[in-house]
Amino acid sequence: MATQTLSRPQQDQTVDQKIQELRQLYADSPVGKTALENSIPALREKLAKGLRSNESAGRVGLRQGKVSELTLIFKFVPGGAKRLRALLQVMGANFGTEKVATVHDQRFVFLDNDTKLLFATAYDGDSWDTYLDEFATKIPDELDMLFSELEEFPGFRDPSVKDWIAKYQIPAENWYVAHPDLTVRDIRRLKRIGKAAEEFLDKIG
Amino acid sequence: MFSIEKPVGDTVSTHSPALETSDIQATVLRPRPSPYCGEYVILRIGDAAQGREMLRRMLPHVAPADEWWVPSLPGWLGISFTFEGLKALGVPQASLDSFPIEFRQGMAARAETLHDFGANAPANWEHPFGTAEAHVALAIYAKSERDLQKVLDLARKSHADLQQISVVYRMQFGELPDGRNPFGFKDGLHNPHVEGSSPAGAGTEASIKAGEFVMGYPDERGETADVPIPVELRRNGTFVAIRKFHMDVAAFRRYLRDQASSPEEEELIAAKMVGRWRSGAPLVLAPDRDDPALGADGNRNNDFGYADDMKGLKCPFSAHIRRVNPRDALKDDVVAVNLHHFLRRGTNYGPPLPEGVLEDDGAERGGVFLLIGAHLHRQFEFIQSQWVTDGNFISHGTEQDPLIGNNEGDGVFTIPRVPVRRRLHGLPSFVAVRGGEYAFMPGLRALRWISNLGR
């Protein structure tokens, strides 16, 4: 019994038990209650098949197959939001992240009247700190520029940057990935192959 | 006793201080002799005071890197400790707690990161690997069997009357004919050059900062290690990932036979898997056929890069040596290759499988590797998890190292060719992990510091 994990009892719950629990919780939600009842047949079918679940990525965060998520909320330093907004407008979508080849997407959202930043990204691998040393060594200025306007930022050349990130990281409660089995590099390769195959078919067709 | 505060302001400088080779163990910086024989011994310490007494007696025989092959010595002794071993010696809790997490957990607990699944899982390892019984790992090298016995005697005498010290593992190793590994390849040809350790070797390869391999010096990031504490314990010390591999030579030969239509093609496929021909000649310099003169020439057989082979037409991206040591192959990627080296001290064990034999004779044979570096996580663990047991870094999906990957019968191996690549399927595992440990290999003064604990 000592090896039993916290999530174990839930896994042992039957589909009916899970649905019953949801019904009780949603009983107080007028719109949600009806929507849930209408959705239960489809939900029951999916649960019975066994859904894919989120795994943990490194210290914090969720992983789906080969892809992981990183969600951070920081406080801006005074004047930081203004500077970062100006920088992001100049940069547009030109982040040079293509070179990194492990980043699927990244977003910067300014919260609470420009006092906080939400940064969210999806990346390949099971832990961001595996590759953080590379970034810190190869592109520290690019990263420092983006994160310098945040409180307590030590700079990417400082090894304590890992602890700084972990401190402000918030694991997603749930996260969906269309293709958990494809890395950015896999996608590039498949695009190349697809293009070659289309050209081939065009020629023989 | 000792102060536990972290030293403030370990200097970061661009030039490295001179290496204290008289304090660093020979095993870290010096290649083993050739020909060689030797023995690995693992000890269990049941009593801290007896463990420290043994250490005091053994100390004069531990070889430093400066007098590494003094003719008067019959051989050399290297000594290292697992986390359990340091505990058993009574190293203070504050010191123990300051070690990096991967070392505290031990290699067996890192199985998921290291891809040690299936036949390679710690549950299948030889005793005492991966258990709390493995405390002290000794590596003893000698030029002859007689010399080896002399050093073994010295080691034995250091604990013969200490009831709480027990030998829990012994294995002999020795050179195979022509200095080849059991698969029939000349190996152990390359190691990074440690700045300040000796004159740089021939070739164009740059030296790597000493702090990557020995604590107490700046590393490639300009940092000097500040753990474990105190400085007396870490200075001139390093970490060793010990890996024992059984090599299924018959399976390797059968696979080549099945994939090839001629003996020449067998040799080519084998070379494509390794990245070198059997003689040691690298594919990049000898793409079409073996060149034994090149293989034997230490000035030339490492003087190459992949800049002229960025399509992998000479040496496949997936070839063993291109994976574990990509040299300049990843120069266009955001990868700091110099953060991912280790010093590799390999030895072979077991009888060779006679030429031409395709059926396994049941004999245990293979290699034991001491993979040495100051940062287990970003060196050994990174190389094993990102470069050996995955293929994403070379856009090869989940393809693993064809030679030492954990392929379990469904592995693939991609050989770039014009006009279309060739892909081999159904690769089995040619090696099986028989055991492994993470060990701390202290400097000589640190050994004395440990032996004097509790006094």
Give the distance from residue A189's alpha carbon to the nearest chain B alpha carbon, in angstroms: 7
pLDDT of residue B57: 95
pLDDT of residue B69: 60
List of chain B residues whose C-beta atoms are within 8 Å of the C-beta of residue A131: 334
pLDDT of residue B203: 67
Rounded Cα–Cα distance for residues A173 and B26 (Å): 52
Please say if the pLDDT value at position A12 is more than 90: no
Token pair belonging to B97? 């707690």
The 3 state secondary structure assigned to chain B is CCCCCCCCCCCCCCCCCCCCCCCCEHHHHCCCCCCCEEEEEEEEECCHHHHHHHHHHHHHHECECCCCCCCCCCEEEEEEECHHHHHHCCCCHHHHHHCCHHHHHCCHHHHHHHCCCHHHCHHHCCCCCCCCCCCEEEEEEECCHHHHHHHHHHHHHCCCCCCCEEEEEEEEEECCHHHECCCCCECCCCCCCECCCCCCCCCCCCCECHHHCCCCCCCCCCCCCCCCCCHHHHCCCEEEEEEEEEECHHHHHHHHHHHCCCHHHHHHHHHHHHCECCCCCECCCCCCCCCHHHHHCCCCCCCCCCHHHCCCCCCCCCCHHHHHCCCCCCCCCCCCHHHCCCEEEEEEECCCCCCCCCCCCCCCCEEEEEEEECCCHHHHHHHHHHHHCCCHHHCCCCCCCCCCCCCCCCEEEEECCCCCCEEEEEECCCEEEEEEEEEEECCHHHHHHHHCCCC
Over the stretch B343-374, which tens digit does the pLDDT of each residue have?
Answer: 999 999 999 999 999 999 999 999 999 999 99
pLDDT of residue A4: 35
CB contact under 8 A, B334 and A134: yes
Quote the pTM value.
0.91
Rounded Cα–Cα distance for residues B383 and B340 (Å): 7
A66 touches chain B (CB under 8 A): yes
If you average pLDDT over residues A22-48, what whole number do you get? 91
Residue type, A96: G
A101 touches chain B (CB under 8 A): yes
pLDDT of residue B382: 96
List of chain A residues whose C-beta atoms are within 8 Å of the C-beta of residue B100: none
Over the stretch B46-67, which tens digit does the pLDDT of each residue have?
Answer: 999 999 999 999 999 999 998 7
pLDDT of residue B68: 61
pLDDT of residue A199: 95
DSSP classification of residue A150? B
Token pair belonging to A74? 């920081």
The beta-carbon neighbor of A130 closest among B220, B333, B386 is B386
List of chain A residues whose C-beta atoms are within 8 Å of the C-beta of residue B339: 133-134, 137
Give the distance from residue A169's alpha carbon to the nearest chain B alpha carbon, in angstroms: 20
The beta-carbon neighbor of B392 closest among A124, A133, A134 is A124
The beta-carbon neighbor of B339 closest among A99, A101, A133 is A133
pLDDT of residue B202: 62
pLDDT of residue B8: 38
| A-interface mutation test, from B334, B375, B420, B423, most A Cβ less than 10 A away | B334
Q: What residue in B sits closest to A185 (Cα-Cα)?
A: B395
If you average pLDDT over residues A96-108, what whole number do you get? 86
CA separation (Å) from B220 to B16, B52, B85, B196, B304? 11, 35, 30, 14, 22
Report residues of chain B scoring pLDDT below 50: 1-14
The domain made up of A56-168 is a member of CATH 3.40.50.880: no
| B-interface mutation test, from A68, A102, A124, A130, most B Cβ less than 10 A away | A130
Rounded Cα–Cα distance for residues B127 and B435 (Å): 8
Token pair belonging to B121? 């899982």
Give the distance from residue A134's alpha carbon to the nearest chain B alpha carbon, in angstroms: 5
Please say if the pLDDT value at position A44 is more than 90: no
Q: What residue in A sits closest to B222 (Cα-Cα)?
A: A157
User: How many CB atoms neighbour CB B159 within 10 A?
Assistant: 22
Give the mean pLDDT of chain A. Answer: 88
Rounded Cα–Cα distance for residues B276 and B265 (Å): 14
pLDDT of residue A135: 87
